[in-house]
Structure 1
Amino acid sequence: MSNIIPVFLTGLCLLLQRPICCNGNKILVVPVDGSHWINMEVLLQELHSRGHDITVLRSAKSWYIPSKSSVYTAINVTMLEDEADMDYYNKMLRDVVECRRSSTFIQTFCQQYLITSMLGKGHAILARAGATMLDDSVFMKKLQDANFDLMLTDPGLTLGIILGSYLKLPMVFNVRWINTGEAHFTIAPSPISYVPVSGSELHDQMDFLERTKNMLHYLYSVAEQHFIINPAYSNLFQRYFPPGTDMLSLQRAADIWLVRTDFVFEFPRPTMPNVVYIGGFQCKKARPLPDELEAFMQSSGDHGVVVMSLGTLVSALPHDVTEAIAAAFAYLPQKVVWRFVGETPSSLGNNTLLVKWLPQNDLLGHPKTRAFVAHGGTNGMYEAIYHGVPVLGVPLLFDQFDNLHRLKLRGAARVVETKSLTKEDFLEALKDILETPSYLDNIQRLSQLHRDQPISPMDTAIFWTEYVIRNKGAATLHSAGFSLPWYSYFCLDVGVVIMAITAACICRPLWNKVIPSEWRGEWKVLLWIKRS
């Protein structure tokens, strides 16, 4: 009997310690490659740890999404990346540099035109890929038979939206950018008077000329949506969806928008009940560095280290810019860790270590790191804020100009541009970041505010994702405004009626005053005859 009791107690403890998430749900994931995958993978790892069964649709030619993982099961499909490569983005970089040589007012419209060209081609490719999937009866039956509980997608590419809508799955967006700009412009009211349009490089306190520019950018984005993006999918929607379906209606039907934004970084603006803010959710405490990298960091002494990384999509800067940066680094007393792909610069100094990959979050959290030279990608900006590291920005493409502009306005960054970058300019800006205390003070203040939250961004993301699964959607959070015709949304019909009544009230006394009383009866007879 004495031998049975310990065995019984051991078994009871094992039962009590059994994970509560063992009955996980089935989640279908359609991500975006490149830097977008970095934060999607972090979210998937957390969902997997809670017992959810995850299936990821990926391109067979994916740059960063592995085909084998302990976290998810992968299915290869045709996606946008099958018809694009990184050289495309390097060419766009060269075109953007030319745009930046235009006047300040014109250069953002020039960049927007380049993006419009990319959008036109990209959405045509995505529409063909979506039609290929929906036409494949075997593939679609496989997805339907899997009985997924949720579609989790980054709507930067539209395939997840199309598939999730067709399969009638509750849908959660892991999102910041969508179609023609920032996610809020699709889902939330966006007064142009103080909400800067994506790509405008404006702030929330605009003068008349800036508001004019902002309005022009907004009208441009509306034209893109209705004349370039929506028509690309018209045939697909006619074949597989109810009449009247367009891309905007499918996007707005998503249950929860996990928006990778924190208002420590963004400008305050209107929002919606189903928008949840998870900016910086991928950030975490720094882990120990590999031995060789740690030894390099420690060798910097009291001067510390500058970290430089230009993200995942652009493999190299123009050669003359690379030489200027390398030469400037050589003059620093600090050591430099530079994520670099390409031919080694001839002006490289002994204090600079070139690596093809670096643990960015862990380096930014290292006590020896003094500054971060970055292109302005969202992930890097939030990691810099989280760890309190001042930024020298070198924007290249897309939202990077806006991101760095926001950090600059908060006194936590300086910005230099590749269009006219010299060794002297880069060195002066870098020394300013390293030697002026206000940059460090401001970024550490932002870090304090960013961390001062009742619930971590990751826990917030997981809660609302599982909320949608538990409740089979989030219909109670959807606004009725999206189902109204445009004239009802803006109350134009009400305005017309009020104006008509007001006009009648004003005109009747004038009628009585202008028309003699003895004529009024004759006028009424004439009007009656005319109507008859």
Structure 2
Amino acid sequence: MFLSLAPFLSLLAVIISSAHSGNVLVFPHEGSHWVNMRVLVEQLHSRGHAVTVIRNFDSWYISETSPHYNSITVNMAGGGTEDFYRQFVSEVFRIKRSKGSAWALMALQFELKDKFFELHKKVSEVVTHILENKDLVKSLQDAKYDMVLTDPANGGGVMLAHYLGLPLVFNARWTAHGEAHFAIAPSPLSYVPLSPSELTDQMTFFDRVTNMVFYITRMHLYKQIVGPHYSALSSRYFGSADYFSLFQAADLWLMRVDFVFEFPRPTMPNVIYMGGFQCKPAKPLPQHLEEFVQSSGEHGVIVMSLGTLIAELPLDLADDIAAAFAKLPQKVIWRYKGDRPASLGNNTLIVDWMPQNDLLGHPKMKLFVSHGGTNGIYEAIYHGVPIVGIPIVFDQADNLSRMRAKGVAKVMDISVLDRKNFQRAIEDVLNEPSYRVNMQRLSRLHRDTPMTSLDTAIFWIEFVMRHKGAAHLRTESYRMPWYSYYSMDVVLFLVMIVLLILLFFAGLVWSCYRMCFKRKVKSD
């Protein structure tokens, strides 16, 4: 009897699952940002939701076909191609290795400004192309999407969600205006460091001066980079040039950090923390890697990866790194696509790709040499592996500075990196137990939660779909003018009242004085 019910119960489960399934439109950000967006997409698909991803025909990371989503390919160049990032990283190497002079640092800022001005211009052109294509807009409207999931590092998904009148959920660490908290949550500059200042939450007076200068200059820079493009879109389609309020009106902010990584700071009810949501227990390694790892004996293994954007290095820098590795007793697995360094030792295995999470979770893992990308840092935290960091660009130096402040990482600057100081940095982290002890403590804190970060993220995405948004969690403070937000009008009003009262009493005293003086004159 029970066995005969099994097919029926399975069918019922499928029917119930499909009855609660949603329809999600995804407007992603290109490059490594897609790596973590894809985790959410695949998980949504596994729970029975229909997912549609908008991509450009020249997309670098986002495939047109996938078992996990349908795609809408826009017949326009998106700008964030492999060549775009490769050329940019190459220029960053050239500038930063000029020994970090003031002119070099200024040149780097101009390079960032020019490249990302062009990138946001391309995004704006793609959005215009979509919204001016009446057939495409009608198909998007007819699809009856429940929400838009987007990465606010560009404004395309923001504009599209508001145009279609759909709830908006962010997969966020950055917006087009910098670190995402600064767009939505109170951020006192006295103890909330602005990326990329590399400061902590314990600032001296001059640190606070530096933080304030960073804030003023960065906000001005971001407005120059993104303002002209998104202001024009907002004016054209929404009747107002205040494009940034469209970002702030998002229903939910899924934040790719937690307070194991982030310094304590104010937050908001619609900010959901999902740091490390891509992390999971290690799986067995492929046989050739397992054999290599086991051959390390008691010394263990070091893994090095500088992320997907930095597949190659200048020849002399790669040679210095290889020479430093060759002097170590550990075995090294290095993800690298450049020419084989002449100084490469027998203890070092170069690979095009590696299962990074599975390697970091292996019992013989001793150290992670990383560029400081958020995904890699969280995998190191999850598995309790200390870090030697080599930041190159974007948020990497700031990410690693947080790890350094927590006593789990040593950071190298590529402008001064050579074989001797690189080897010394590795040996310092390997030989000083506090790095591993501190990282294992962070790992325990990170894992000690009632739900996994991924389950938390999916719950809140489904929450937004079930309730057609999350307006009850969203503050309306972004609609207030700045002088009302900071209560400057209230302070001015109260100051005027106090002044009027003081003037009244001063006048009263003066009148009494004059009356007394006149009486005295008369009596004389």
TM-score, length-scaled by structure 1: 0.92
Partner Cα separation in structure 1 for residue 2 and residue 440 of structure 2: 54
Per-residue CA deviations over 1:75-97 (Å, capped at 9, x if unaligned) read 21232325952322223422551
The answer to whether structure 1 residue 351 and structure 2 residue 347 are counterparts is yes
**Partner of 2:318: helix, strand, or coil?**
helix
Which letter does structure 2 place at the counterpart of 1:87?
R
Structure-1 residue corresponding to 2:235 = 238
- Counterpart mapping for 1:259-408 below 5 A: 259-408=255-404
Structure-2 residue corresponding to 1:172 = 169
Partner Cα separation in structure 2 for residue 113 and residue 184 of structure 1: 25
- The root-mean-square deviation of aligned C-alpha atoms, in Å, is 2.2
Per-residue CA deviations over 1:454-478 (Å, capped at 9, x if unaligned) read 1111111000000000000001011
Which letter does structure 1 place at the counterpart of 2:248?
R
- Offset at residue 113 of structure 1 (A): 4.6
Structure-2 residue corresponding to 1:430 = 426
Partner Cα separation in structure 2 for residue 352 and residue 291 of structure 1: 17
Q: Is the 8 A contact 1:90 1:315 kept in 2?
A: no
Which letter does structure 2 place at the counterpart of 1:138?
D
**Partner of 2:362: helix, strand, or coil?**
coil
Structure-1 residue corresponding to 2:92 = 93
Structure-2 residue corresponding to 1:40 = 37
Q: Is the 8 A contact 2:177 2:223 kept in 1?
A: no
Partner Cα separation in structure 2 for residue 34 and residue 205 of structure 1: 34
The answer to whether structure 1 residue 451 and structure 2 residue 447 are counterparts is yes
Q: Is the 8 A contact 2:96 2:105 kept in 1?
A: no
Which letter does structure 1 place at the counterpart of 2:138?
K
- Counterpart mapping for 1:409-488 below 5 A: 409-488=405-484
**Partner of 1:55: helix, strand, or coil?**
strand
Q: Is the 8 A contact 1:96 1:396 kept in 2?
A: no
Q: Is the 8 A contact 2:231 2:243 kept in 1?
A: no
Q: Is the 8 A contact 1:393 1:415 kept in 2?
A: yes
Q: Which runs of 5+ in 1 are unaligned?
A: 520-532
**Partner of 1:81: helix, strand, or coil?**
coil
- Counterpart mapping for 1:160-199 below 5 A: 160-199=157-196
Structure-2 residue corresponding to 1:504 = 500
Per-residue CA deviations over 1:245-287 (Å, capped at 9, x if unaligned) read 5331111111110000110111010000100000000000111
Which of 149, 152, 157 in structure 1 is aligned with 2:154? 157
Per-residue CA deviations over 1:168-225 (Å, capped at 9, x if unaligned) read 1111101101113111000101000000011111111111111111001111232234
Partner Cα separation in structure 1 for residue 94 and residue 213 of structure 2: 22
Q: Is the 8 A contact 2:258 2:274 kept in 1?
A: yes
Which letter does structure 1 place at the counterpart of 2:114?
S
Which letter does structure 2 place at the counterpart of 1:86?
Y
- Offset at residue 33 of structure 1 (A): 2.2
Partner Cα separation in structure 2 for residue 317 and residue 157 of structure 1: 28
Which of 191, 200, 203 in structure 1 is aligned with 2:197? 200
Structure-1 residue corresponding to 2:27 = 30
**Partner of 2:343: helix, strand, or coil?**
coil
Partner Cα separation in structure 1 for residue 222 and residue 321 of structure 2: 39
Partner Cα separation in structure 1 for residue 57 and residue 259 of structure 2: 37
The answer to whether structure 1 residue 144 and structure 2 residue 144 are counterparts is no
- Offset at residue 9 of structure 1 (A): 3.4
Partner Cα separation in structure 1 for residue 154 and residue 104 of structure 2: 26
Per-residue CA deviations over 1:26-67 (Å, capped at 9, x if unaligned) read 111111222211111111111111100011112222222222
Which of 473, 486, 495 in structure 2 is aligned with 1:490? 486
Q: Is the 8 A contact 2:24 2:145 kept in 1?
A: yes
- Quickly say closer, same or farther: Cα 1:17–1:507, change in 2 above 3 A: closer
- Quickly say closer, same or farther: Cα 1:6–1:47, change in 2 above 3 A: closer
- Quickly say closer, same or farther: Cα 1:82–1:317, change in 2 above 3 A: closer
Q: Is the 8 A contact 2:181 2:187 kept in 1?
A: yes
Which letter does structure 2 place at the counterpart of 1:33?
E
Which of 124, 129, 148 in structure 1 is aligned with 2:126? 129
Partner Cα separation in structure 1 for residue 2 and residue 240 of structure 2: 68
Which letter does structure 2 place at the counterpart of 1:45?
E
Which letter does structure 2 place at the counterpart of 1:101?
G
Partner Cα separation in structure 2 for residue 100 and residue 260 of structure 1: 33
**Partner of 2:213: helix, strand, or coil?**
helix
Q: Is the 8 A contact 1:230 1:246 kept in 2?
A: no
**Partner of 2:39: helix, strand, or coil?**
helix
Q: Which runs of 5+ in 2 are unaligned?
A: 517-524
- Offset at residue 407 of structure 1 (A): 0.5
- Offset at residue 319 of structure 1 (A): 1.9
**Partner of 1:174: helix, strand, or coil?**
strand
Q: Is the 8 A contact 1:123 1:232 kept in 2?
A: yes
Structure-2 residue corresponding to 1:61 = 58
- Counterpart mapping for 1:105-124 below 5 A: 111-124=108-121
Per-residue CA deviations over 1:491-511 (Å, capped at 9, x if unaligned) read 111111111111122223333
Q: Is the 8 A contact 2:279 2:379 kept in 1?
A: yes
- Offset at residue 429 of structure 1 (A): 0.6
Structure-2 residue corresponding to 1:80 = 79
Partner Cα separation in structure 2 for residue 107 and residue 215 of structure 1: 22
* Aligned-pair identity (%): 49
Partner Cα separation in structure 2 for residue 416 and residue 31 of structure 1: 32
Structure-2 residue corresponding to 1:525 = none
- Quickly say closer, same or farther: Cα 1:16–1:234, change in 2 above 3 A: closer
Q: How many residues align?
A: 513
Which letter does structure 2 place at the counterpart of 1:170?
P
- Offset at residue 112 of structure 1 (A): 4.5
- Quickly say closer, same or farther: Cα 1:226–1:415, change in 2 above 3 A: closer
- Quickly say closer, same or farther: Cα 1:109–1:212, change in 2 above 3 A: farther
- Quickly say closer, same or farther: Cα 1:84–1:494, change in 2 above 3 A: farther
369-378 vs 64-73, which moves further = 64-73
Which letter does structure 2 place at the counterpart of 1:76?
T
- Offset at residue 12 of structure 1 (A): 3.6
- Offset at residue 440 of structure 1 (A): 0.7
- Offset at residue 20 of structure 1 (A): 3.4
- Quickly say closer, same or farther: Cα 1:56–1:385, change in 2 above 3 A: same
122-131 vs 510-519, which moves further = 510-519
Which letter does structure 2 place at the counterpart of 1:32?
H
**Partner of 1:121: helix, strand, or coil?**
helix
- Quickly say closer, same or farther: Cα 1:366–1:277, change in 2 above 3 A: same
- Offset at residue 107 of structure 1 (A): 8.2
